[in-house]
Amino acid sequence: MRLSLPHVPGLLLPFALLPLSLLPACGKGSPGKRKSVVAFSQCTTTEPWRVLFNRELKREAEKHADEFDLVVADAEDRTDRQVEQVENFIRQKVDVLLVSPKESPGLTPVVERAIDAGIPVLVLDRNVATERVTAFIGGDNREIGRAAGGFAVDHLGGLGKATGKVIEIWGGMASTPAQERHLGFRDYVAKEPGIEILLDNQDGDWKQDRGYSIMETALKAFPRIDLVYAHNDPMAYGAYLAAKDAGRDKGIAFVGIDAIPEEGGLWVKKGWLTATFVYATPGVEAIRQATKLLQGETVPETTTLPTRAVTRETVDAFLAAAGVGSK
Ligand code: FRU
């Protein structure tokens, strides 16, 4: 018999999945009890950090293949699509829902509906605007923003003495990491009378090409720019490329966030970025916690993943530890 799934755009089925009403009784040694399903709604896979996130999550889930099936849906960077996919998971009564939201306001109501339906929800990396979730796993983006702000102040002359003209390129403005990375940066930089923020209201939506075009415009408007702070490495790299194309890359420091060794790490090594900050993906921890929930255990309300700076001084050790050659 052939079974067809209801059409959900972007739904990937890396592990076998049938509509749950049609799932065979396949629970381990317990006839009549179906195997558990952990469903993951990933907002996008257009950025390399998301691809790494999915890879880490799937690899960890493979260790538990006899305990549950994993279903991964890619919302292709669209809030409406992600809401639709989460609705679908609620209808299917999945056992644990993992969500990494595109943005906060758009995803909050559907996450609450999942909780109302009795499904445990782990929110990953970007948060929603409700306390009514099972748990949140992600980095402390305010802290990462502060670390970037501290680096910028040091780079521009040190506490109380820093001088320079700064451009900030936002990630998606409706997402919590962008909001927190902005606030953390301001915690440091706004206290420095010698630092002038030339631009801090441009939404680059985490994309390299948007970073490029925001910087291209900024270069035309401002004869002097000393430092660019972008909310992720792809946008910082895009800004660097724009400056290079305009022949102005040499005098400008480019600071990003993510530090994927093969990307931001290598860009620091090559001297294209001045610094980046590790933003670990929550993939492995999400699966560990989902497994606990399936076993009836509790999980902490918040799990904060650590960060650290990758600069010219630390990049060699960083790349070596990640097993990445620096050619
Ligand atoms: C990928 C990404 C990362 C960033 C994170 C923030 O989609 O933009 O580059 O650190 O999301 O949520």
- Express each pLDDT in 9-45 by its tens digit: 444 444 434 344 434 344 444 556 689 999 999 999 9
- What confidence score (pLDDT) does residue 6 get? 41
Closest ligand 1 atom to the C-alpha of 43? 7
Strand partners, 304: 138
Each residue's pLDDT tens digit, 242-263: 999 999 999 999 999 999 999 9
Greater confidence (66 vs 7) lies with 66
The answer, yes or no, to whether residue 82 has pLDDT greater than 50, is yes
In this structure, which residue's CA is closest to atom 4 in ligand 1? Answer: 232
- What confidence score (pLDDT) does residue 236 get? 98
Show the beta-strand stretches assigned E in 186-298.
195-203, 227-230, 253-255, 275-277
What torsion, rounded to 10 degrees, do the Cα atoms 273, 140, 41, 30 define?
A: 130
**Is 198 within 8 Å of 220 (Cβ atoms)?**
no
Of the candidates 171, 153, 174, the one whose C-alpha atom is nearest the C-alpha of residue 162 is 153
Q: How confident is the model at residue 318 (pLDDT cuts 50, 70, 90)?
A: very high
Residue ranges of domains in the chain, CATH in brackets? 2-133 (3.40.50.2300), 141-280+311-322 (3.40.50.2300)
This prediction's pTM: 0.90
Strand partners, 99: 41, 123
Whats the size of the chain, residue-wise?
327
Cβ of residue 258 lying under 6 Å from some atom of ligand 1:
yes
Of the candidates 66, 68, 63, the one whose C-alpha atom is nearest the C-alpha of residue 40 is 68
Closest ligand 1 atom to the C-alpha of 279? 10
Cβ of residue 151 lying under 6 Å from some atom of ligand 1:
no
